[in-house]
Amino acid sequence: MRNKNLDSANFCIQLDEITNSATSEFIDRITTVIASPNFLEKFTTDLILPKDLNSLILLNILVWYLPEGIRELLRVQLEEIKTSQDNFILKFFQKSKTEMIVFLQETSLWHTRDFFGNLYNTKKIQRVLKLVRFRKRNKLVRKPQRKRGYNDKGSQRLEHERRSIGPQTRLQNLLETERLILQDTIHLIEGFLHGG
């Protein structure tokens, strides 16, 4: 910023105040979505990306002031943007919040009045936040299975008989039946001993 009368602390305070006043309605609207414990797994963003560079810069600044779950979703989508011009400016905003603030203070692209008056004001912030929508992730569409025919299975084989019965399967079936017979015998003897 070219205004040297505004020190870094006052600049940060002014940036925070404008952001909090403009994003309060947006954050209230999406708190129910964020409160979900599986927010990142269940929801995805429908982000309609703005065409002009100023709106992209505004959105990159706002990302750092949003709650954590939303911030991560939006940052991933914003980092994938390939713009033809001034892509290096967006990279400064995407690295970290402190680098973004230092870049805004040290740049000569905007005067403070121009930045807070034309680029970063409440109306533009709310307009850009309307572009961010959340929807549930697509799941497979399950078509209902229509019943065909009768419920009667007729001479359908039992499930354990459906598999191919080799020598190991027959041996396993014999061992299991012997084990069940032995358990039944033990329970019968215990019943006689304790009940008798």
169 is a domain residue: no
185 is a domain residue: no
Number of domains in the chain: 1
Name the band, by pLDDT with cuts 50, 70 and 90, for residue 136. Answer: low
- Mean per-residue pLDDT over the chain, rounded: 78
88 is a domain residue: yes
126 is a domain residue: yes
pTM (2 d.p.): 0.60
Range of the domain at 28: 8-136
Name the band, by pLDDT with cuts 50, 70 and 90, for residue 181. Answer: very high
102 is a domain residue: yes
First to last CA, the chain: 97
**Tens digit of each residue's pLDDT (9 = 90 or more) over 110-125:** 888 888 888 888 888 8
28 is a domain residue: yes
84 is a domain residue: yes
Q: Is 103 left (phi over 0), alpha (psi -120 to 50) or beta?
A: alpha
Q: Count CB atoms within 10 A of the CB of residue 64.
A: 18
36 is a domain residue: yes
If one compares 115 and 177, the residue with the highest pLDDT of the two is 177
